[in-house]
């Protein structure tokens, strides 16, 4: 039962010094510190349930997203949760169409990242009150109710609400069997953890061997800094993993995979219209939360483009697994050419971390969006006053 008034919104700047180990490094982002603007929503209900939301950042600039969250807070505070989810499309538009804040957007950049953090917290709270993991909340939702969460503005030239309804109606066929399949076998994943660009050859070798021992069969390699070194590194990894394992989507026919930095549903629409991608990478924190990701999943289904989500960042694996599982059960009904990214970093800081079995995401069973972090981890990594950063900043001064 959905109930309660949003009585408090807090947001914190949480950063992990991943750049020290080269984790997350690629040709464009050589020293990322995996970070998040971490939002907590509280209600006046005595059940004590809270909604937790994040948006992913790379260190510097997280404080700007925090400011944007605070600027949006008045749209959320003192609102009844039932009123929000009862007109989720309207609430989404309220956040994204603020008459003044939209000037520094609209629906892109810092303001949209902040919107994602707030909405992710709302979805987490809604799922918790319903006693379901987010993916199950979506799967069980009446198609009309689900579509009422989506803002179809600017995309009806490729996907109308009625077309989306037809897709969801078709997705009802075989849904229970697909849900059973997910619960038994999970959603296939690929690993990026072995081959960040900043890793040494010895680290690559060690991590590849460990991944093979853990059952991984699909690998992603970061390239783009130097062509000859890229060729050398790819040869090294191919030698390590063998000819039968998947590297860089070769057996699928090398195609363009993009989307992790696409600002909104309109850019995805344009890429689909132009037939400019063969693999679509949604991001649970770059787009406007679940609401906007739903519209992209439905557009991808209409164009029959497989969705292979981006998850290289703090908490992204925890969130996007819900979207992939929902996509298979209720939208795409297919695993062909589909897999979800996995990185083996920072899961220990989450209360409900992902569970990987046989290189697949096992469906979460705890209620919510898996967004809640351990409070001790948040305190230690809060920037700049957390224990971890006090030590690092003091060492830099010396």
222 labelled catalytic: yes
Active-site choice (222, 269, 322, 349): 222
DSSP 24-81: T--SS-SS---EEEEEEEEES-TT--EEEEEEEE-STTHHHHHHHHHHHGGGTTT-BH
Q: Do residues 72 and 96 lie in contact, with contact meaning Cβ atoms separated by under 8 Å?
A: no
DSSP 217-269: -EE-----S-HHHHHHHHHHHHHHH-TTSEETTGGG----EE-TT--SHHHHH
Question: Could you give phi then psi for residue 210, rounded to 5 degrees?
Answer: -65, -40
112 labelled catalytic: no
DSSP 165-180: HHHHHHHTTTHHHHHH
Size of the chain in residues: 398
Report DSSP state, residue 363.
Answer: P
Active-site choice (136, 310, 349, 381): 310
d(CA 101, CA 98): 5
Residues with active-site annotation: 222, 310
């Amino acid at each position: 039962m959905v109930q309660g008034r949003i009585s408090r919104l807090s947001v914190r700047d949480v950063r992990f010094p991943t750049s020290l180990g080269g984790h997350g490094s690629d040709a464009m982002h050589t020293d990322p510190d995996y970070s998040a603007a971490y939002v907590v929503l509280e209600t006046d209900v005595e059940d004590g349930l809270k909604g937790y939301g994040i948006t992913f950042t790379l260190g510097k600039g997280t404080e700007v997203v925090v400011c944007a969250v605070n600027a949006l807070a008045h749209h959320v505070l003192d609102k009844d949760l039932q009123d929000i989810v009862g007109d989720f499309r309207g609430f989404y538009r309220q956040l994204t169409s603020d008459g003044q804040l939209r000037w520094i957007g609209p629906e892109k950049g810092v303001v949209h990242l902040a919107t994602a953090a707030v909405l992710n917290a709302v979805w987490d709270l809604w799922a918790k009150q319903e006693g379901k993991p987010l993916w199950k909340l979506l799967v069980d939702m009446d198609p009309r109710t689900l579509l009422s969460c989506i803002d179809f503005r600017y995309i009806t030239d490729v996907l109308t609400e009625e077309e989306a309804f037809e897709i969801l109606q078709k997705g009802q066929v075989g849904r229970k069997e697909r849900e059973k399949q997910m619960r038994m076998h999970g959603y296939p994943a690929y690993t990026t953890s072995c081959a960040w660009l900043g890793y040494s050859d010895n680290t690559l070798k060690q991590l590849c061997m460990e991944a093979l021992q853990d059952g991984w069969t699909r690998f992603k390699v970061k390239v783009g800094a130097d062509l000859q070194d890229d060729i050398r590194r790819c040869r090294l990894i191919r030698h390590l993993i063998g000819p039968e394992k998947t590297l860089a989507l070769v057996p699928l026919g090398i195609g363009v995979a993009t989307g992790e930095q696409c600002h909104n549903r309109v850019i995805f629409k344009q890429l689909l219209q132009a037939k400019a991608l063969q693999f679509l990478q949604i991001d649970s924190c770059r787009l406007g939360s679940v609401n906007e990701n739903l519209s992209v999943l439905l557009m991808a289904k209409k164009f029959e483009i497989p969705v292979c989500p981006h998850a290289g960042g703090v908490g992204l694996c925890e969130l996007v697994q819900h979207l992939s599982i929902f996509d298979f059960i209720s939208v795409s009904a297919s695993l062909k050419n589909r897999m979800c990214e996995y990185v083996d970093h920072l899961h220990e800081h989450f209360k409900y971390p992902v569970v990987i079995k046989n290189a697949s995401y096992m469906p979460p069973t705890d209620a919510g969006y898996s967004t809640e972090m351990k409070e001790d981890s948040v305190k230690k990594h809060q920037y700049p006053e957390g224990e971890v950063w006090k030590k690092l900043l003091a060492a830099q001064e010396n």
